[in-house]
Amino acid sequence: MLAAKDVLVLGISGDSVYNQQLFKKAHRLDFKLLADIKGEVARKFGVPEGDGGSISKDIFGKTTVLTRGVTTSRWTFVIDKQGKIAYKDASVDAAKDSKNVLKALGELKAK
């Protein structure tokens, strides 16, 4: 849906590359996920962060321990072709996020 609009979608979290690979496969995501295990990218964008930690999850019928370097709030950004933040949502509702991004892209295109 977003790829057809000439948009690059990236997800970034404090999870390791391994965790990201499992998450992407489990949720059948069609965009890249980046590991920010030290929270450096989150800090540059002002995203609140907390301590990391480990959790056990059942993934593909196997209990897997997932360790995260930092835990960050879920925020969404749209960055325009000039590298400026054109849209920011600091209270993301995952179920509505893509709809909100599409609306923001439409407003950006109308400018």
How do residues 58-79 score in pLDDT, each as one tens digit?
888 989 888 898 999 999 999 9
- Predicted pLDDT of residue 59: 86
Q: Count Cβ neighbours within 10 Å for each residue of 13-48 and write b for 16 or more, e otherwise.
A: bbbbeebbebbeeeeeeeeebebbbebebbeeeebe
Give all domains of the chain, ordered by start, each with its CATH number: 3-110 (3.40.30.10)
Q: Give the per-residue pLDDT at 13.
A: 92
Q: For position 4, what pLDDT does the model report?
A: 61
Per-residue model confidence (pLDDT) at position 3: 60
pLDDT above 90: residue 107: no
Separation of first and last alpha carbons in the chain: 21
CA distance 24 to 56: 17
